Amino acid sequence: MIRIQFPNRFDSSAPSPIKITRRNWIAQMGAAAASTALLPLGKLAAQSGRVVKNGRLKQSVSRWCYGRIPLADFCRAVAEMGLTAIDLLEEKDWPTVREFGLVCSMGYGGGGSIPNALNVKANHDQIAKNFEQSIPRAAKMNVPNVITFFGNRRGMADTEALENCVAGLNRVKKIAEDNGVTVCVELLNSKVDHKDYHGDHTPFGVEVMKAVASPRVKLLYDIYHMQIMEGDVIRTIRQNHQYIGHYHTGGVPGRNEIDSSQELYYPAVCRAIVETGFTGYLAHEFVPKKDPITSLREAVALCDV
């Protein structure tokens, strides 16, 4: 897989390059969070049976939150509960999920890193080169989306960042359109998790989408992140759904289970998404504090509106 090499995701001044993957990010969150995803295979087998009943909203799940479960075992559990996809996979893992009748709903394709991406023109050549190679491969593997980011501010004005992001996305939109793969730019919070991130409010992302004006360039609206930054999630989704190509979930506060322990009522949010006519994926991206497969099954049932 071709990977763009940028400085460390967390320290914009660090000179050493790393792979563009959330594995680096979850490592920074601490071993304790990751270790909650360790599940004995016998227990995996005990958590069985289809959960999806209605299926009006296509649900997926982010792999990195369950990274301690072997991928093949995780695929079996995911398929058994009625999900059709796993999110945020690198290209080497795309064939594995296909073996279990699943797809990768959001792939890494070399779209930069959270701090270093579209708002800096110097990054555009490498991002464009990577997408020119990875997007056709994604299309062949039925991967509908690839991820990219706005990047950190570092004192940059919104007007300059908007102009740069539009220029970068204009360079890759044709390859996305020609291959039927959507480039999704993620909205993230800058209050708790990603200090200085530029795409931390929906209006900024929407302005970029309006200027690019491509059916194959959309926002990845992370409900967890946008609840932290601006709230008013349902109204925002209803007013801007045409610019959104993908959703992520997560409990607020803490990014854990999306149950009654947190402040959002996900059944209402999911009904609002369905009512917009959305046909893409909503992927669960919370770090389970309890038994991970049980928590995932409960989240899937909650969102199966």
**182-223 pLDDT, tens per residue?**
999 999 999 999 999 999 999 999 999 999 999 999 999 999
- Domain definitions of the chain by residue range: 6-303
Q: How much is the pLDDT for 39?
A: 44
Region for 290 from its dihedrals, namely left if φ exceeds 0, alpha if ψ lies in -120 to 50, beta otherwise: beta
- Read off φ and ψ for residue 274, nearest 5 degrees: -60, -40
* The pLDDT of residue 19 is above 60: no
**Would you state the structure tokens that stand for residue 209, as one six-digit string?**
């989408």
What's the CATH number for 6-303?
Answer: 3.20.20.150
* The pLDDT of residue 10 is above 60: no
Please name which of 90, 101, 98, 110 lies closest in space to residue 6, comparing C-alpha atoms: 110
Which of these ranges, 3-7, 42-46, 120-124, 143-147, has the smallest mean pLDDT?
3-7
Question: pLDDT class for 48, splitting at 50, 70, 90?
Answer: confident
Q: How much is the pLDDT for 15?
A: 33
Distance (Å) of CA 303 to CA 49, 58, 98, 248, 281: 17, 10, 24, 12, 12
Q: How much is the pLDDT for 185?
A: 98
Question: pLDDT class for 108, splitting at 50, 70, 90?
Answer: very high
The predicted-structure confidence for 57-99, as pLDDT tens digits, reads as follows: 999 999 999 999 999 999 999 999 999 999 999 999 999 999 9
Using alpha carbons only, how large is the chain's radius of gyration in Å?
18
Q: How much is the pLDDT for 47?
A: 58
H or E, element range at 60 = strand 58-61
Q: How much is the pLDDT for 33?
A: 39
The predicted-structure confidence for 274-304, as pLDDT tens digits, reads as follows: 999 999 999 999 999 999 999 999 999 999 9
CB 151: neighbour CB atoms within 10 A? 27
Q: How much is the pLDDT for 183?
A: 98
Mean of all residue pLDDT scores within the chain? 89
Q: How much is the pLDDT for 211?
A: 98
